[in-house]
Structure 1
Amino acid sequence: MSDRILLLATTALFGAGLCAAPAQAQSAEDPSGQSDDVQEIVVTGLRGSLESAAALKRNSNQIQDSIVAEDIGKLPDTNIAETLQRIPGVQISRNTRGEGNAYVIHGLKQVMTTVNGRALFGTTDRVAHLLDFSSDILSGVDVYKTATADQIEGGLGGLINIHTARPFDFDGFHVALTGSALYSEFQDRAGPRVSGVVSNRWDTGAGEVGVLLGGQFERYYSAGYQVSTNTYGDNNTLFDVNGNGVAGEDADTVTLPTQVRPRYETGDRVRSAAYGAVQWQVSPQLELHTDVLYEHSGGHSFTQQLSVRTDGATGIGSPTFKDGTTVPATYSLANPRIDSVTGASDNPYDTVNIAFGGKYQSGAFTLNAEASYVRSQGPFYYRSATLTTRGTRADISLEGDTPDVAISGVDVNDPAAYSSLSYFEYGTSADGREPSFRADATYEIKDSPITAVMGGFRWAHHRAIYDFFSAGSSAMNQPISAVTNPTLDDLFTDQDVSTNQWLAMDGVFMKDAARTRTLFGLPLDNAANDPGSHYDYRETTLAGYLEGRFAFNVGSLPVDGNFGVRYVRTDGEQTVLVADDNGDYQPLTGGEPYDNWLPSVNVRFKFTPDLFFRLAYSKAITRPDFGNLSPAVILNPVSLTASAGNPALRPTQADQYDASLEYYFGRSNYAAVSVFQKDVTGFIQKFYADEQINGETYSVSRPRNSGNGRIRGFEVSYQQFFDFLPGPFDGLGFQGNYTYVDSALDVIDIPQRVPADQLSKNSYNLTGIYEKGPISLHVSYNWRSKSVQSNSASEFGTLWNAPQESLDLSATYYVTDWLSIKADMVNATVAYQNQYYGTPMRPTLSNQLDRSYQLGFHVNF
């Protein structure tokens, strides 16, 4: 897109409006049921959403932060993971096309996720894939940073509760409809985004009944352009560095990657959902409800990569080195191997979440009960075709953030240049399912320091089934010229690289699995599953808890909060297939039960009606991944080594300490500072240890509970609307937060403690807001400092992500009190995702993320 078009789009985004914004009533009740004196808040636009979120934070019985959707379908982010980045203490990472996916809370990626209080997970993982859930299905998100005894266990970092709407959330008949076009600049194409909900409630002879139905569909296009390398290594055979006429001496060592890879990646993702809820107020004492949520995510990715390799190459001349290192700034190779690799993947996932429950209240006694069933399943398919040639020369630069390679002596766009071909594909099948039941009872006590006593239990039976297959070919039934095309020829928007275009397999063939298999002479059906990769895990958990709530005065100081303990027993059994002496696969089962006691306490001191100080302690666990619990052992009698899973793994545990000071001034304004520390024990890592097997001592690699660690930090949050300013500036507002997190973890084979994966030491969010009359504008900037992508014991160091940023713009224009027009721009600066090994002297990835635009309307009445 040209700068002129960008300027026009930016100008349109911040256009003026005509008339006043509509108001909508929405409850600020905490869905966990742990609020006190929460009042219904009339919200208008973004400010109203922030007011509701501030009320949730203020009235919660634990430390939490929330995002409340202005209306269903009006959050600016396309998926829930991206929504989370706006909450203090939450950091997200993005895939190579810029979509938000993984997330950490207070430095830990072991996070429990629930939807309307029920466990949510992705296929055979314990965590949810929030990339697959559109933000359009939300009425809000709560992030609980301290635990209470009644909440489901399983998260060290915290608990994320996603909630969808129910009919009793609205006064009566309610309709909301959103439609927009979402445009990818890199792909130069737009996809639809549509969502809607209709709800009503009626008084009948059998009580009040409410029904809500909603749906959502979007096709999201995205892309990423990059140059990358593989890991670095020492080589002393390529160059005669010391000039004595002999290569191969220690003095000839250079530290460089064996591949440099320019790459185009494009893709699209279909996200769709259908959901409904029924509520029935049978009597003043009894209310019943049913929730149903079906969600589909179909992701497709297409990559075209040119890999310039040192395989069989020789060095030309002597490289120029970066100061004080053996890393070359520039170097040249003769006869490099060149691979054109075209890849495609498909990952259609489906999640079903069904629940039926009720609430009975009689006087001081309340009973909540709910039965639910969750299933998440879907395959993942990947296929790649590689064309190979050799060049006369490759000139490589590692000087800046972006590695660069110039090729000569071969036309990489000529089909006749490529002499060999290979094809490989693999697929997985993953299926997770969980029926569960929980019951919670509360007894309110008047005129007592103990204001309520709670107790309850939860039973769940989880099953995870996984399979894998692979196939390959070195033949193709068409000439290369008939199935290939040149790639695009402009890799980045703001810098030049030497190699922008090469020959690659046509997407018409690679994106269609059946057509690909026909092209390479493979059966149309999937290959047989690999029995050695199969597992079937069954886990039954039974948890019970007791919790007390209290409120009393210490002198003239009001104090309230909660304390409790949760007991949980986990009984898991995993079945895998292991080859016997005849090569036949037989089932092998293993697993051990274990118990955990999880105390928690949250205390709030009300220095004034608007100034609170909170203290909290809790013990938390996260269970091992299902794939690590295999009882199978694969032996190598020649080397006396083995690899295995570990059914005896125990959960990783953390003792968590939190404190928070919060000051509220006005319905939407507050300032808060909090500190936290997590002492973690039993990190799960793979490493070798000697074990006696069949009378022999084997060195066995298996996941084991080992290292400990500490994570500590603080957060600062501030939110205010400047109503005291003279018009028109009284519509200005600001929201900002800063998080500092320091982590030190034990990792096997690394002598010093290292930072936690995906964690930045510093991060902040700044949002400027203007809301007045019909106009609602906001500009949001998100920044995080460098973070660990993966820790490594390699002498070349940890893989680091360089600092990352995102600038997002949004504008809403209210045409009438029920119709608004909305425009968004995401990643306005077309930011990069850069990585390096140990030091920026060893760059390994420069990936430019897509910029997207959205223009649409919203109807609400």
Structure 2
Amino acid sequence: MRITNHILTGVALCGVIGFLPASAAAQSAPDTNSADIVVTGIRASLQSAQNLKRNSDKIVDSIVAEDIGKLPDVNVAEALQRVSGIQVSRDRGEGGSIAIRGLSQVLTTLNGREVFTAGGGRGFNLQDVPSELLAGIDVYKTPSADLIEGGIGGVVDLRTRKPLDKKGFVFSASARGRYSDLADDVKPMASVLVSNSWDTGIGEIGVLVSAAYQERAFATDIINVGAPNGRTDIIAGQTVNAPNGSYQPAIKGNRRRIGIDGMVQWKPTPELEVYGQVGYQEFRSIQTQFGLNIPTNGRTAVPGTATVFDGTNDIRSISYNNVAFNTFGVARDTYDENFQYSGGVNYVTDGMRLNFDVNYSTSKNTLYYSELDLAGVAPRADQDVSAGVPSMLLSGVNLNNIGSYTIGAMTRNENYFKGDMWAVKGDASFDVESDFLKSLNFGLRWAKRGMDFTPVRFFQTPGTAAARVNAAGFSDLFMSNPLNNMFSGSGNINQDFLVANPDALRPLDNFDAIRQQLGITTPVSVSTPGIYSINETTMAGFATAKYGFDLGAVPVDGNIGLRVIRTGLQVQGNRLNAGQTVPTPIDMNSNYLSVLPSANIRFGLSDKLQLRLAASQVLTRPGFSQLAPTLTLVPAQNTGSSGNPDLRPLKADQLDASLEYYFAPTGSVYLAGFYRNVQNFILTGTILRVIDGIEYSISAPTNSNQGKIKGIEVGGQTFFDFLPGLLSGFGVQANYTFVDSSTGTSIAGLSTPLTDLSKHSFNVSGIYEKGPLSARLAYNWRDKFLTGLFTNNVVVGLPVYRKAYGWLDASINLDVTDNITVSLEGSNLLRSKTDTYYGRETLVGNLEQDDIQVLAGVRVTF
């Protein structure tokens, strides 16, 4: 019932907007074409975004910061959550990856050039870019042949500012503080933009430099109730589903984001422009975590303590005897560093446009993971998963006495990803004078991209299983758990226990010293089977034709095009073939040709109403880690993973339609439908291999059969200009998306929705802007969604769902003068929680909560 109410609320709000054109038209709306009226602030941004959507020859949605430094939200992913058809996955309480109309295979471009973050995937980490650097974001939901291939979900283009966009001297700077309540810390944020242009004897010259710095303290509390396990030894004559334990990390850390952009434009003549641009992004996440890992598989239940949820065989509460457990101290640090260098020439005359562009990008992504555990045995453990915070309490052992422990496992993992890309593009467009054709556009693009990966793997436990090393002689390595206030100090879990100090584990020299102190002689070393190198070269050519004609009284225009790409792939690494126990080095070369047609057509049904139709074929190439023939083993879990260089690219046939009604400069409603038929979805299967006498369960990707996605989007925006006085400053944005999907799985005969895709989602934003005051209250809601499949000894392919949740943000800005604005913002104001379950809600999964954040600051613009 609650979900139904959320959906009806979203649809009703969109419906209310649908009635606004008539009432708005009956009032005297302001004349935005008058030279006496200057539109600024939120209105200007919404008006610009609406004009981009209305005038594009593709189906596109945009976010525009018309005023410098006013792009909403802190990073790109968070800004994109307001766009219909986009669903955002969150990472430690901030926007992370996105999916467009159900598909996460999204291509990111920066000023039309492909960008990436080094890693096992192909995409760009949207968290890397501070939003202050951007003038706007365009989301292309339908392609045309001139857009770079690679995103079956869509293309997200990040647009930075150019010095000649606004002539003369421009200066903008901001400073904010951000408070995170669980971390209980304030961190700084700042940005600056300086731009100037000059008319000289050699033409017009513009120079722009912008930079942004963000820090964020964060904390996350997690209780991961162990996956269900079918057991017959708990309640006589009955098979019950008992959680296999509890994993309870408390996480705290700091994230830093730096962005720098510089650009020079030179126009020696009005027709000719020469430009150069440099971009840099750095993203650093320093994270520590402490907690308990309490597995209960194979442990004996205390007789008579087990209860089940009514009408089920699912354990509600239970107690165990003699439960082994681990405490852990973990350092998990990641670093992204990206550079982009580009330059080119534009030449524009009446009827002709020429462009030549060269760009080079480099990226590094590094992970350092260090862990040291303490091991112990508790005489009793009591678990109850029915409470708001699922409980798991150890008793009968002094968790603050070092003598209660032996030394547990020691782990060191390091991932080194390095990538670079050269790209050269040239295109030409020529106007055509005819009753049908309006212009012809041709182009070529050559790109070469490389990716190298080197892993370091270390996992050892001092002593033997029969004779573990007592921890009492190593008390200097451990301390009391500093994060002992999980879920507001809940008494449902143990909060006070001893843990390793992650700061001592971070430097490799310290880690090695501790390793030797514990008597572990095996050194930290590179895992040779996991090394790989991939080089990919593409040559693409495209041709598009823009057309326009009158169909009776209805003007029609659009584009039709073809993009042809030859992809060459070289994969070097190590491969485990059937029947082998030792990986074999390989060097594989392959190439394939892709032909991608596209067509967009628009019918001008009236001055305000237009209908768009689109059909296209698109592709996404497999990720680098999916293609890599590497073998990575985890001895502690008898598991491993391998890539597959024989994977084929994902391809999709797409159909789209959009009906759009524009009734005011900032007022519109739309209804869109879409269909995607995707071939070669990549799924993960499992095989068993015996390596060095140990049987491993090794996962590897394979291409599956078709996946189908269909859905609708409905939404709109308006200001209530027809209301009197101060009330005319109110406005609203709302959209609702329905997506239905189905794809095969690694389990024969089983189909599921796409992972991380909600069937229903909506956004509602209340806006106020009048005089010096502007404010926004934004609520984002999404239905439950599939996160994966789980198999145990009773069921195969049990779906794992995250429950529906909403996310509330708010902001208020006050223009103290024409040049100074103060702001107050809040994020995650409802403290949304991650709440998952296995198939049904009585099989409890993961509970997670993140910070509420409050930001305050000032912005100065000249």
Q: Which amino acid aligns with 2:254?
A: D
Q: Which amino acid aligns with 1:103?
A: I
For residue 193 of structure 2, the aligned residue among 184, 190, 197 is 197
**Do the aligned residues in 2 keep the contact of 1:588 with 1:632 (CA within 8 Å)?**
no
1:370-405 Cα shifts (integer Å, max 9, x gaps): 000111113111111111111121110122454211
Deviation at 1:776, TM superposition (A): 0.7
Per the alignment, residue 674 of structure 1 pairs with 672
**What pairs up with 1:530-545 in 2 under 5 angstroms?**
530-545=527-542
Deviation at 1:688, TM superposition (A): 6.8
Does residue 276 (structure 1) correspond to residue 271 (structure 2)? The answer is no
Per the alignment, residue 450 of structure 1 pairs with 437
Deviation at 1:94, TM superposition (A): 1.0
For residue 123 of structure 1, the aligned residue among 118, 132, 137 is 118
**Do the aligned residues in 2 keep the contact of 1:304 with 1:504 (CA within 8 Å)?**
yes
CA distance in 1 between counterparts of 2:192 and 2:36 reads 24
The 3 A distance-change label for structure 1 pair 325 and 466 is same
**What pairs up with 1:459-478 in 2 under 5 angstroms?**
459-474=446-461
1:323-344 Cα shifts (integer Å, max 9, x gaps): 2322111111111112111211
CA distance in 2 between counterparts of 1:513 and 1:266 reads 21
Q: Which amino acid aligns with 2:534?
A: Y
The 3 A distance-change label for structure 1 pair 550 and 134 is same
CA distance in 1 between counterparts of 2:630 and 2:332 reads 29
For residue 149 of structure 2, the aligned residue among 146, 153, 161 is 153
CA distance in 2 between counterparts of 1:168 and 1:387 reads 61
Per the alignment, residue 435 of structure 1 pairs with 422
The 3 A distance-change label for structure 1 pair 584 and 488 is closer
CA distance in 2 between counterparts of 1:271 and 1:856 reads 18
Does residue 556 (structure 1) correspond to residue 553 (structure 2)? The answer is yes
Per the alignment, residue 43 of structure 2 pairs with 47
Per the alignment, residue 28 of structure 1 pairs with none
CA distance in 1 between counterparts of 2:573 and 2:853 reads 45
RMSD, matched Cα: 2.8
CA distance in 2 between counterparts of 1:41 and 1:655 reads 46
Q: Which amino acid aligns with 1:600?
A: S
**Do the aligned residues in 2 keep the contact of 1:402 with 1:845 (CA within 8 Å)?**
no
**Do the aligned residues in 1 keep the contact of 2:412 with 2:524 (CA within 8 Å)?**
no
Deviation at 1:69, TM superposition (A): 1.8
Deviation at 1:799, TM superposition (A): 1.6
**Do the aligned residues in 1 keep the contact of 2:573 with 2:630 (CA within 8 Å)?**
yes
CA distance in 1 between counterparts of 2:367 and 2:172 reads 34
CA distance in 1 between counterparts of 2:104 and 2:406 reads 45
Per the alignment, residue 735 of structure 2 pairs with 737
Higher mean C-alpha deviation, range 614-623 or range 500-509: 500-509
1:416-471 Cα shifts (integer Å, max 9, x gaps): 32233321111010011100001111001134311000010110001010010112
**Do the aligned residues in 1 keep the contact of 2:189 with 2:215 (CA within 8 Å)?**
yes
CA distance in 1 between counterparts of 2:509 and 2:774 reads 49
Does residue 832 (structure 1) correspond to residue 824 (structure 2)? The answer is no
Q: Which amino acid aligns with 1:775?
A: L
Per the alignment, residue 305 of structure 1 pairs with 291
Deviation at 1:632, TM superposition (A): 6.5
CA distance in 1 between counterparts of 2:107 and 2:509 reads 38
Q: Which amino acid aligns with 1:254?
A: V
Deviation at 1:66, TM superposition (A): 0.8
Does residue 815 (structure 1) correspond to residue 826 (structure 2)? The answer is no
Deviation at 1:578, TM superposition (A): 6.4
Per the alignment, residue 765 of structure 2 pairs with 767
**Do the aligned residues in 2 keep the contact of 1:262 with 1:499 (CA within 8 Å)?**
no
CA distance in 2 between counterparts of 1:455 and 1:462 reads 23
**Do the aligned residues in 2 keep the contact of 1:413 with 1:486 (CA within 8 Å)?**
no
The 3 A distance-change label for structure 1 pair 147 and 500 is same
CA distance in 2 between counterparts of 1:191 and 1:700 reads 43
The 3 A distance-change label for structure 1 pair 688 and 730 is closer
Q: Which amino acid aligns with 1:538?
A: N
CA distance in 2 between counterparts of 1:587 and 1:483 reads 42
The 3 A distance-change label for structure 1 pair 510 and 825 is farther
Per the alignment, residue 714 of structure 1 pairs with 712
Per the alignment, residue 486 of structure 1 pairs with 481
Deviation at 1:490, TM superposition (A): 2.5
Does residue 110 (structure 1) correspond to residue 110 (structure 2)? The answer is no
CA distance in 2 between counterparts of 1:860 and 1:604 reads 40
The 3 A distance-change label for structure 1 pair 404 and 573 is same
Q: Which amino acid aligns with 1:576?
A: G
SS at match of 1:225: strand
The 3 A distance-change label for structure 1 pair 562 and 40 is farther
CA distance in 2 between counterparts of 1:404 and 1:478 reads 32
Structure 1: stretches of 5+ with no match in the other structure: 1-36, 243-250, 636-640, 692-698
Deviation at 1:517, TM superposition (A): 3.7
CA distance in 2 between counterparts of 1:572 and 1:195 reads 41
Per the alignment, residue 575 of structure 1 pairs with 572
The 3 A distance-change label for structure 1 pair 309 and 236 is same
Per the alignment, residue 610 of structure 1 pairs with 608
SS at match of 1:58: helix
CA distance in 1 between counterparts of 2:535 and 2:783 reads 40
CA distance in 2 between counterparts of 1:642 and 1:345 reads 21
For residue 359 of structure 2, the aligned residue among 372, 381, 402 is 372
CA distance in 1 between counterparts of 2:791 and 2:226 reads 16
Per the alignment, residue 210 of structure 1 pairs with 206
SS at match of 1:791: strand
Deviation at 1:77, TM superposition (A): 1.9
**Do the aligned residues in 1 keep the contact of 2:145 with 2:596 (CA within 8 Å)?**
yes
The 3 A distance-change label for structure 1 pair 169 and 728 is same
Same amino acid, percent of matched pairs: 34
CA distance in 2 between counterparts of 1:383 and 1:257 reads 28
The 3 A distance-change label for structure 1 pair 192 and 253 is same
CA distance in 2 between counterparts of 1:704 and 1:42 reads 57
Per the alignment, residue 343 of structure 1 pairs with 330
Does residue 803 (structure 1) correspond to residue 804 (structure 2)? The answer is yes
Does residue 409 (structure 1) correspond to residue 396 (structure 2)? The answer is yes
1:38-82 Cα shifts (integer Å, max 9, x gaps): x99954122221111111111111111111124343334222111
For residue 164 of structure 1, the aligned residue among 160, 163, 174 is 160
Deviation at 1:169, TM superposition (A): 1.5
**Do the aligned residues in 2 keep the contact of 1:176 with 1:860 (CA within 8 Å)?**
yes
SS at match of 2:775: strand
Structure 2: stretches of 5+ with no match in the other structure: 1-32, 463-470, 634-638, 690-696
CA distance in 2 between counterparts of 1:484 and 1:634 reads 33
The 3 A distance-change label for structure 1 pair 491 and 41 is farther
CA distance in 2 between counterparts of 1:486 and 1:390 reads 18
CA distance in 2 between counterparts of 1:73 and 1:300 reads 27
Per the alignment, residue 344 of structure 2 pairs with 357
TM-score normalised by L of structure 1 = 0.89
Deviation at 1:753, TM superposition (A): 1.8
CA distance in 1 between counterparts of 2:496 and 2:716 reads 48
Q: Which amino acid aligns with 1:621?
A: L
Q: Which amino acid aligns with 1:123?
A: A
Does residue 782 (structure 1) correspond to residue 780 (structure 2)? The answer is yes
The 3 A distance-change label for structure 1 pair 42 and 446 is farther
Does residue 258 (structure 1) correspond to residue 259 (structure 2)? The answer is no
Q: Which amino acid aligns with 1:851?
A: I
Deviation at 1:408, TM superposition (A): 1.5
Does residue 80 (structure 1) correspond to residue 76 (structure 2)? The answer is yes
Per the alignment, residue 71 of structure 1 pairs with 67
SS at match of 1:139: strand
CA distance in 1 between counterparts of 2:327 and 2:814 reads 48
SS at match of 2:302: strand
Deviation at 1:483, TM superposition (A): 2.7
Per the alignment, residue 4 of structure 2 pairs with none
The 3 A distance-change label for structure 1 pair 549 and 833 is same
The 3 A distance-change label for structure 1 pair 409 and 260 is same
